[in-house]
Structure 1
Amino acid sequence: MTLQKNLLGLVFFFFLNSTFSQQKPLALANETQYDYAFVETANVYLNIATSVANVSTIPKDPKESKVYDFLSGRSLSTYDDTANFIVESLRINSKNSDYAPSFYKGELVFASSRNSKSMTVILQENSNEPFLDLYTTSKNIPNKGISRLKGAVNTKFHESSAAFSPDGKTVYFTRNNYSKRKFKRNTKGCVLLKIYKADYDNGKWKNVEELPFNSDEYSTAHPALSPDGKFLYFASDMPGSYGKSDIYAVAIHEDGSYGTPKNLGSLINTAGRETFPYVSDKGTLFFTSNGHVGFGGLDIFMVLPDEQRNWVVYNMGAPINSPKDDFTFIINEENNMGYFASNRDGGKGGDDIYGFKQLAPLQKYRNPMPEIKRKIKRHLEIKPAKEEITSF
């Protein structure tokens, strides 16, 4: 079996044999910007299947080890066998926040607050930046720059974290609780986050609708799809979770209906924040957390079976992770290339998107990691935007 099959089987096992619960609030994602939607969890037992993870091999040809810069059309780096990854900032980054990259038919879709020229621009009080929209750029279309997604996806509030169905005809994305030109508040007066979907029709995204497990009283956010499109992963602060945010999964049925969201359990979810799930083309689960041992801020983690075929959470290590916030990781394990976002030192804006080339197989992370002290709790005063809109 492949890891992909094991991961899907794991979720299937959750749905059949486990009981789950949920949880709580939202918090600041980096030191200057947006709030994430998060969640608490319940006890879910990770009974793991019998196979070993599919892993990529170290590239032999230096030409294979280059990261593609979507905007410039150039390769960024050459092969370096002294590191696990080659990482470089992309030229698509702006002076504002850019993050949440996703693959779509040769394009890179991402969230950005760069829309400062709009006549209707609304500034976030805590960052003095415009609200986030979804943008796209392509390496397959010569001289194609950066443009907002066409259609009804983008509004005057936040949109982020897009995930596309295998056939490319459906997009799931995060938005503030806003539809039909109205936004709704919870009982505390806050506008939270919801997951929406839209259909691709004649060059535009249309028929936007929210998913049935959303709520005005808790947030759901940051969707990701399994490779076969049968499971949707997301973060939420629905009641009953372990900590400030948890990762959940829900089945997508053939008739388009949804199952009951299930918490991925205490192996993955902690008393801290787990968010931004991603499942690779080979079925490897990645996520962002500040609850597992890390280098500081938010770190990127992955789930792999160890040598005894027990599921283990591994920190991705440097240079993927840094003392700052590192998140929204995606990878194509077929060609060992991917992207993530970080607010690390040396960036162009609040958050920047980085491209990387994987040089070492994922199994390397089974080696013992050095002891690193748990991250220091940040003492930040979280101030809501003037409009009391929850952002990312």
Structure 2
Amino acid sequence: MSALAFPHTEQARRIGDDERARILADSGFGTYFTDFMAHATWTADAGWDEGEVVPYGPIQLSPASAVLHYAQEIFEGLKAFRHADGSVWTFRPERNAERMQASARRLALPELATDAFLTSLTALVAADEPWVPAPTTEESLYLRPFMFASEEFLGVRASRRVEYYVIASPAGAYFPRGVQPLVVWISDEYSRAGAGGTGAAKCGGNYASSLLGKAEALEHGADEVLFLDSETRTNIDELSGMNVFAITADGRLLTPSITGSILEGITRESVLALAADRGLERVEQRLAMSDVLEQVSSGEITEMFACGTAAVINPIGEFRALGGSWTVGDGGSGKTTLALRQEITDIQYGRIPDRHGWMTRLV
């Protein structure tokens, strides 16, 4: 078995300097992609090969590839940030590596060692360094590691051949309106994941199951959908791709406990750490939707927000459901919510000291 090194042979870039500059001036989110990608292959007989950094482009798959029929696939998401001195850093990548390993175990895929995961990120960002934007607000280079079953066979078992890739995309704000209070639709029909399922894994199927709920939310004029637990349809689970928090008037920070159907968000984990620094009492427990709405109506809950890698932290200003609507606080962006968001982004962009040791330099 080879050590994963992801070597890169110097090759011509597919996008010229002028076109890249045009893209970076208005990149949106997840629309454009860089010059290169990292790739490695695993087989049951030989393990992982050395890997390589190759030109970004289409992947050739057999119509019988296992992923197309049995959805054996996982992914991660993290960002590369340009600091004022020109260096490029990323945020808590070891936790992404560990979460990808946990997802791999749940989906019966091979685990990629943490050092190999970090090497793949470093190799790709070194090759694509001109694509890391200098931030005028919160621009970054979004990194998407993913792994899927590529063995050509039809049969329900774990694939004996697996591909690992990392692609990159310059990114601006996740929500087109920027950091504005979200309107969130509470779905009473659809569930994101069930007990004993893949809710805690970062796999495509969980996101596919959220799409109808997200469409339903848009039909009701909402930005996002909130899913409830599949067993009782009473407890808060998470949004289509973000964890949920509430802040109370007496200084408690409430969030649903990790039960196996909720993704262990790295931003979620970071928020809990920063909240402790601020003296907030952290409460992780089952949160009944009815109780939360009562506390919103009474003013006991003063702020709510959603968080994830792409959006970082975004305030929630209103909930809607078939039974009515509920405004959180004054419907605006809460002071503590914005302060937590500012602290995380200041750490990520190197504007304040990284006292938790969360940042890793890539270039």
TM-score, normalised to structure 1, is 0.23
Structure (1 or 2) with the greater strand fraction: 1
TM-score, normalised to structure 2, is 0.24
Structure (1 or 2) with the greater helix fraction: 2
Q: Which has the higher contact order (CA 8 A, sep 6+)?
A: 1
